[in-house]
């Protein structure tokens, strides 16, 4: 079964310096029909204006993943980690017992565009930790590239949850398939472009919940970049 989440139906927060589209309930936006999907709690598509950003704030017991789409995202945290992320960079921060961090647009002349993803961990009270990896466009071209997993396999970032996140860049009619094991569900989020998921058309910003299916087929892609979340039921 497929349940579509249209881009235009997402929650919107426009603070001038920040424009954010919320796939799930977040902050002042609440929709009882969209409060997460399994352990996947947040997908925020954020655009931060030049020189602006999120001041220092705290998190605990959450897996926080940043997927940069354009521009430069500067990160600093209470663990002493500091970095500037660009397109292709994936950052994972396990908040654990508690961490404070800030995220700013590193550029003074252009916005930064990124996805902020929160996944509920399957363990609590662990020491906070940080990791980042770079995945080239070539690695994602025409295939589902594993970017996050519970065991860090395939040089993916490690998340503390029985979940796998794949990224792909697709163009053309050649189908790309992903098999779901028994008791698994999936969430497919189309970042940009156009794509069919099991025959259902998605456009940039659209997503689909996949339940009671064993095979996901992606086809009819036009300049598509997509994330596929393989999740516990």
The enclosing H or E element of 139 equals helix 137-140
The length of the chain is 233
CATH 2.60.120.10 fits 2-232, yes or no: yes
| pLDDT at 85 exceeding the cut of 90 | yes
Please give the pLDDT value at position 148. Answer: 98
User: Which of 135, 117, 134 shows the shortest CA–CA distance to 23?
Assistant: 117
Question: What three-state secondary structure class fits 153?
Answer: helix
- Report CA torsion sign: 201, 204, 206, 212: positive
Average of per-residue pLDDT across 218-223: 97
Residue ranges per domain, the chain?
2-232
| pLDDT at 99 exceeding the cut of 90 | yes
Please give the pLDDT value at position 233. Answer: 83
Rounded to an integer, what distance in angstroms lies between the CA atom of residue 11 and that of residue 123? Answer: 29
Q: What is the mean pLDDT of the chain?
A: 96
What percentage of the chain has pLDDT greater than the value 90?
Answer: 93
What value, to the nearest 5°, has the Cα angle with vertex 188 and ends 5 and 65? 105
| pLDDT at 55 exceeding the cut of 90 | no
Average of per-residue pLDDT across 161-187: 96
| pLDDT at 197 exceeding the cut of 90 | yes
Please give the pLDDT value at position 69. Answer: 97
Structure confidence by residue, pLDDT tens digits, 8-33: 999 999 999 999 999 999 999 999 99
Q: Residue 77: which pLDDT band, with cuts at 50, 70 and 90?
A: confident
Name the more confident of 82 and 121.
121
Q: Residue 195: which pLDDT band, with cuts at 50, 70 and 90?
A: very high
Q: Could you tell me how far CA 125 lies from the centroid of its own chain? A: 23
Average of per-residue pLDDT across 181-208: 97
Q: Are strands 112-119 and 89-94 parallel, antiparallel or unpaired?
A: unpaired
């Amino acid at each position: 079964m497929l349940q579509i989440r249209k881009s235009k139906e997402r929650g919107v927060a426009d603070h001038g310096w920040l424009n954010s589209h919320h796939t799930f309930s977040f902050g002042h936006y609440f929709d009882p029909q969209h409060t997460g999907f399994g352990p996947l709690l947040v997908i925020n598509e954020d655009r931060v204006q030049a020189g602006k950003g999120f001041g220092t704030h705290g998190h605990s017991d959450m897996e926080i993943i940043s997927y940069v789409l354009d521009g430069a995202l500067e990160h600093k945290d209470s663990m002493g980690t500091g970095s500037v992320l660009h397109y292709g960079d994936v950052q994972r921060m396990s908040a654990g017992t508690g961490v404070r961090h800030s995220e700013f647009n590193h550029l003074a002349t252009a916005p930064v565009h990124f996805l902020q993803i929160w996944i509920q961990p399957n363990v609590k009270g662990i020491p906070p930790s940080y990791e980042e990896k770079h995945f080239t466009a070539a690695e994602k071209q025409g295939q589902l590239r594993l970017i996050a997993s519970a065991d860090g396999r395939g040089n993916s970032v490690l998340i503390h949850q029985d979940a796998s996140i794949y990224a792909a860049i697709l163009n053309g009619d050649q189908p790309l398939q992903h098999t779901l094991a028994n008791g698994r569900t999936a969430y497919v989020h189309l970042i940009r472009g156009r794509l069919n998921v099991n025959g259902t058309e998605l456009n940039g910003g659209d997503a689909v919940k996949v339940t009671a299916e064993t095979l996901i087929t992606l086809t009819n892609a036009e300049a598509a970049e997509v994330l596929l979340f393989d999740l516990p039921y």
